Amino acid sequence: MGCVYEALQEGSDGFKKRVAIKIIRQEYSNLPQFRKNFIGEARLVADLIHSNIVQTYHLGYANKQYYMVMEYVHGVNLEQFMLQHRALGWDIPCELAAFVVSRLSRALAYAHIHRDWDNKRLGIVHRDVSPKNIMLSYGGDVKLTDFGIAKAFNLMYSKEGEIIAGRSDYLSPEQARLEVTDPRADIFSCGVVMAEMILGFNPFLGNTPEESMNNICEMPLPNFSNLRPGLENSLQKILTETLHRDRKLRYQTANELMLEIEKVLYSKGYGPTNEKLASYMRRLYKDGQAYEDDLSQLPVSFALNPEPETND
């Protein structure tokens, strides 16, 4: 329901900064619930300052359209990363997949316990942890983005229990069953993302959204080691525990998931790092030349500091 554009922010004395501009799609921009959610997302993420979360700099209004100025991540999203592997016939190294999820769970651990300026817990649940919302920079950073359908106290328009929020093949069972969610829903989605990276396909994906949701709720979990030879038992155990249908049997916090992954990655010594991911990205994309952009051909232009019209 939103669009993201690359843009160039200009300042005095030749200052230039590459940024991302996020707007609501035109067909949704006049609907109050979408505008409220967009403003709520901006207010929510404004104070989420974390190295594994895409930062938001500014909420503005121009041409009867709200927009957000966000950190530009020079790289690809995780879906593009996986598609590149399929195109080349490569398997994603299991340790690298686990590293990406450890950074993802690090971002979620921060967001889940975040408090507002009055020190009140916001109760954030992302609810849309999926490959398109996970950015990998050519510098080796892993960043979570798009809190547009997140749940947070008093900030977001939500009909939880009445509508399904999120992509059908990455939902938690409780989302698929229209139950009220808590941070453990995001942990299940992390497990789906990790399984897809390791296996090369999403084991829950069906031919229709309804089939995908039924698979998430009912399908027996595969033996991941049989589908990916060489997968360590420790990573198989993490996948199984992350993907428990009963949320009481999952990892109870994203921090717990992160620590379990890091024990596996670093117990034998030097494991994956941002620098190793950056080196891998250079090989995967041949120094990233295919994704270099000409900043002189920007698709959108905004004044970055107008005030909302008072009669809107």
pLDDT in tens, 76-130: 999 999 999 999 999 999 999 999 999 999 999 999 999 888 888 888 999 999 9
pLDDT digits (tens, 9 = 90+) for 14-39: 899 999 999 888 777 778 878 888 88
91 is catalytic: no
Per domain, the residue ranges of the chain are: 2-73+291-297, 75-285
- For the chain, what is the mean pLDDT? 86
* Residue 262 pLDDT greater than 80, yes or no: yes
Of the options 3.30.200.20, 1.20.1250.20, 3.40.50.740, 3.40.220.10, the CATH number for the domain spanning 2-73+291-297:
3.30.200.20
Cβ-based neighbour number of residue 197 at 10 Å? 24
Identify the sign of the CA torsion 197, 199, 203, 209. positive
Fold assignment, 75-285: Transferase(Phosphotransferase); domain 1 (1.10.510)
CA 142-305-30 angle, 5° bins: 80
d(CA 186, CA 199): 20
Please report the sign of the dihedral spanned by the C-alpha atoms of residue 221, residue 223, residue 228, residue 231.
positive
Instruction: Name the active-site residue from 13, 91, 128, 293.
Output: 128
Given CA atoms 164, 169, 170, 174 in this order, what sign does their dihedral have? positive
